[in-house]
Amino acid sequence: MPASEQLRWQRIRERGRWRSILLAGTLGWGGVFSVLFAGLELWTGVASSFWPAALNALPLGLLAGTIYGWSRWGYALLAKVREHHYVDPDEEPKRIKMTVKTQAGARPGRAILPPAMLGILGGGQLGRMFAVAAKTMGYRVTVLDPDPHAPAADFADVHLCQNYNDPAALAELVRTCAAVTTEFENVSAESMRWLAEQGIPVSPSGDCVAIAQDRIAEKTFIRDAGLATAPFLAVSTAADLDGDLSAYLPGIIKTARLGYDGKGQIRVKTAEEARYALGEFKHQPCVLEKMLPLKCEVSAIVTRTAAGEIASFPVSENEHPTGILDVSIVPARVKPEIAEQAQAMAQQLAAALDYVGVLAVELFILDDDSLVINEIAPRPHNSGHFTLDATLTSQFEQQVRAMCNLYPGKPDLVSPVVMVNLLGDVWGEDGSEPNWEVLMTAPNAKLHLYGKREARPGRKMGHFNVLNDTADHALQQARAIQETL
């Protein structure tokens, strides 16, 4: 049975017996049959006017509608809604092709409206803020996350406390959710592909997530899409480092998978150091990326729908003093044409991916004002948290709107803003809270905590936004508040 048919009968079962029979069958289809029978009486000359004919045909029409409703309900119970298919999570990942097809399960033009249930893979802070946005809009939320204390569970209607590739949990998402998304890229891309094969809209697609999971695939795709990256070399074995490496040195050895917030990276100046770094990473696939003269780092976050509409948030200027994002400054203090180019590059990449959802593109601005793409995130991004308070639509509402086939909201900036990350370092060693007094008494500062139970150095515990008349004034105030914590 085609996936669309599976989804159709599944939706009938979810409505329940009496809603399907009495509301949809007796009243809905019964009215249709009554009109048809009345028209037949007029056509055959049995009746001379419509309303008497309609009243005469009403009992028979309601009976026919009830029978039809019973038939649809019975068939829905007998229909095979999903195939029992499970992908081994230990299976070696397949080679990713450098083209992305239109995602299975997407239904362009058909809106998913409240109070539909939306599913999300991952229950961290991004899932938490997604759940808040979805609940505010009237949707219900199911979170799949193996952590019993997942922050998103505080706001979810249902928390499936299972692994991301658990077959029963995935089947429950198919049974109960109108659409599914993810809060981070390190979930099983095969699970996302399987969900889409069952007929449920999944955004972004499993193919897009698979590309973002692998730096080699990611950088190759970006380059093949006609966009600039730093010179890089795919390193699958030590033999890949035996040739002339002058085009990539000095550089950074980065693990192809699972590196984020500065993790999985070692700076190298020579071929010998590169080989040593590869050994430190136990010879897992890596990329050797040339270090470039940077002026600053920015990110461009775009929202793209299945119909191809794209909305771009203002470009943020980001500072990472320890490899973890510290502050985002919006609007970025760069030339307007550079900001516009960053947005255009993000839009071009989203179109090349046939992307649906919120896509974050991190870019380097070089000393000569040229732009290169560093990496992508197939989800809302830390550097986009300013949108919770400073734009007409937040990145999390955009995530909801994209997965529900709604038009993107307006991303206009309402005030210059600076976002400051709150890491576990500002909590006491005994777990005591930071000094919130100055932050909480500032009328233009907005605190967002993520509900995590344990503070650890380097762990993202929350953030705050400071809105002011200029970005420089916002940054000055944000730094002053940061020092009081």
Q: Which residues pair with 257 in a beta bridge?
A: 214
Q: What are phi and psi of 283, to 5 degrees?
A: 60, 25
Neighbours of 328 (CB within 10 A): 26
Mean pLDDT of the chain: 88
C-alpha distance from residue 281 to each of 147, 254, 340 (Å):
27, 9, 38
Distance CA 198, CA 20 (A): 22
What is the pLDDT, as a whole number, of residue 3?
Answer: 42
Type of residue found at 418? V
Identify whether the C-beta of residue 215 lies closer than 8 Å to the C-beta of residue 375.
yes
Note the pLDDT tens digit of each residue in 266-301. 999 999 999 999 999 999 999 999 999 999 999 999
Domains of the chain by residue range? 3-78, 117-201, 231-290, 294-484
Record the pTM.
0.77
CATH number of 294-484: 3.30.470.20
The answer to whether 401 touches 409, Cβ cutoff 8 Å, is: yes
CATH number for the segment(s) 231-290: 3.30.1490.20
Q: What is the pLDDT of residue 1?
A: 47
pLDDT digits (tens, 9 = 90+) for 27-47: 777 678 778 877 887 788 777
Question: What's the fold here for domain 117-201?
Answer: Rossmann fold (3.40.50)
Length of the chain: 485
**Does the fold of domain 231-290 match that of domain 117-201?**
no
What distance in Å separates the CA atoms of residue 269 and residue 92, rounded to the nearest whole number? 33
Q: Render pLDDT for 360-419 as a digit per residue (tens, 0 to 9).
A: 999 999 999 999 999 999 999 999 999 999 999 999 999 999 999 999 999 999 999 999
Per-residue model confidence (pLDDT) at position 98: 34
pLDDT tens digits, one per residue of 158-205: 999 999 999 999 999 999 999 999 999 989 999 999 999 999 999 999
Measured distance CA(459)–CA(83) in Å, rounded: 40
pLDDT in tens, 303-343: 999 999 999 999 999 999 988 999 999 999 999 999 999 99
Q: How confident is the model over 58-99, as pLDDT tens digits?
A: 888 788 768 877 677 676 666 543 433 333 334 333 333 333
